[in-house]
Amino acid sequence: MFSNSFMSIKTLQVMPARYLFIINPIAGGIDKQLIEDFVAERAQQEGFGYKIYKTTGTGDEKQIGQLVGDYAPKVVVVSGGDGSLLMVSRLLKNRDQLIGLFPSGSANGMAAELNIPAIKGITIAARRQSLMQCWELIKQGRHRNIDMIKINDHYSIHLSDAGFNAQIVEGFEAEGGRGLMGYARQFVKKMTAKKKRFRYHITVEGKRRHGKAVMLAIANARSYGTGAIINPEGQPDDGVVELVIIKNLNMMLLLNAAASIVTEAPGYHPDHLEVTSCREARIRFSKQLELQVDGEVAGRIRQLDIEVLPGAVKLIC
């Protein structure tokens, strides 16, 4: 009796874990061959199954969705920036798969928010070290249930906005730029141009208010990819989103924003910046404004309907 039981235990087979790696080849201007080689090396040494999908910008969501259904990975690992992460998050919202990150985009704001190291460094050795740090996090599998924010027909998990910053993102995409230098060029260009304020009307939980602003952010996190904090009290898994109204862009606000990268204590004056937490809201603008969602241009809008989807994405961190 004991012998038979022992034999049945010995013959149990455990299926190797399956990973799906989504690689954006052009994100951040970083050669992704290093990442492919790293994955192959880890798979050989650790004995897990994997597939790699490289995005092309055409039909990616449909193809990734089909691959997730057919292959049924335990974890989907995203190699790219905030835009790549958002695409995969849309596909996996309210599903069992975990999302891991190899942050390697022009902007890695959500990775920074969750203290996941970006794949960077001048030498290959430095980048491999970052990859290994990320991989160790992924293998541990600890995750947070991150909120998603529905904004009209779009979804966001990080930071979206209308007005000044969205204009910068629009110019950045039109220029075909990559990296922080491209963003900085657009920032200087827009900052030196005349900044027109717009009127906004916000309805939150039946209460209405209005005013003038140069930018309005829908923030599920604390800081942009640059590290500048815009939403000091934000948490991506607290079930609420913050509406951050930038009333004026002046030197004091910019200095506070720059200092927040180091101090993490921006100390914004209420005359310059106002924050409201909510679960849903409607915002109307006096004119059409550019909208960006997690670093991607999302067109021009006059109204935003906002709703929080609590804990919709399982993100390893």
Domain spans, the chain = 10-141, 151-311
Q: Contact 269/146 with Cβ under 8 angstroms?
A: no
State the Cα–Cα distance between residues 95 and 35, nearest whole angstrom: 26
- 3-state DSSP helix/strand/coil % of the chain, to nearest 5: 35, 35, 30
Give the architecture (CATH level 2) of 10-141. 3-Layer(aba) Sandwich (3.40)
pLDDT, residue 270, reads: 65
Residue 179 three-state SS: helix
Q: Cα dist. 153→132, 173, 304, 305 in Å? A: 37, 21, 10, 9
Geometric angle at alpha carbon 212, from 207 and 218, rounded to 5°: 65
Long-range Cβ contacts of 184-190 (<8 Å, 24+ apart): 190/164
pLDDT confidence of 28, banded at 50, 70, 90?
confident
pLDDT digits (tens, 9 = 90+) for 105-151: 877 889 989 999 999 888 899 999 999 999 999 999 999 999 999 99
pLDDT digits (tens, 9 = 90+) for 141-181: 999 999 999 999 999 999 999 988 787 777 666 666 555 55
pLDDT, residue 173, reads: 63
- Mean pLDDT, all residues of the chain: 84
Mean pLDDT of the region 19-36: 90
Residue 80 three-state SS: strand
Q: Give the global pTM.
A: 0.84
pLDDT, residue 247, reads: 87
Interacting residues of 47 by C-beta distance below 8 A, sequence separation 6+: 16
151-311 placed in CATH 2.120.10.30? no
Residue 9 pLDDT greater than 60, yes or no: no
The DSSP symbol for 226 reads T
Mean pLDDT of the region 248-252: 65
Interacting residues of 6 by C-beta distance below 8 A, sequence separation 6+: none
As given in the structure block, the two tokens for residue 171 are 């110019």
